[in-house]
Copies of this chain bind each other. A is one copy, B any other.
Amino acid sequence: MASYTTVALKAELNERGWRLTPQRETILQVFQNLPKGNHLSAEDLYNHLSGEGENISLSTIYRTLKLMARMGILRELELAEGHKHYELNQPHPHHHHHLICVRCNKTIEFKNDTILKTGTKTAQKEGYHLLDCQLTIHAICPACQRSLLPL
């Protein structure tokens, strides 16, 4: 299940002179145990951990999420709720994209192999080191098209 181990995380951190802390280990585990298709905001993660008796400060949560996103371990999702969401950044067979209703925020995941290939090729051509690549579709869902509510 856990494709990315604590050991690998430690190695990658130490290589840059950084450290594996219990907080970082715990946060990684939360994401690894998260059911498919779930994603957490900083606040979500904080509450989830508090509920389990794990008291990690909000500051550390924000710092860790950012760190792991920049390491390519997590993907940072912009899902129309006004705050970021995070999920494990998984390779090929699990890699997916999002179709978002801008009115009700209903979100559908979908897969498409071509997109990842395009992203990889584009990054490579420009000499960029790829971290994540996501197609975000903003749209209006069937229900919201019917409702005549404003906006």
Q: Chain A residues in contact with chain B, CB under 8 A?
A: 16, 66-67, 69-70, 76, 78, 99, 101-103, 108, 110, 112, 114-115, 118-119, 122-123, 126-142, 145, 150-151
Contacts and interface: CB of A to CB of B under 8 A. Distances in A.
A113 to B, nearest CB: 11
Given A99-B122, A102-B70, A131 B139 contact: yes
Contacts of A138: 69, 76, 130-133
- Residue among A67, A131, A138, A141 with the highest chain B CB neighbour number at 10 A: A138
Contacts of A133: 135-138
Q: Is the interface of A mostly helix, strand, loop or mixed?
A: mixed
A144 B74 CA distance: 20
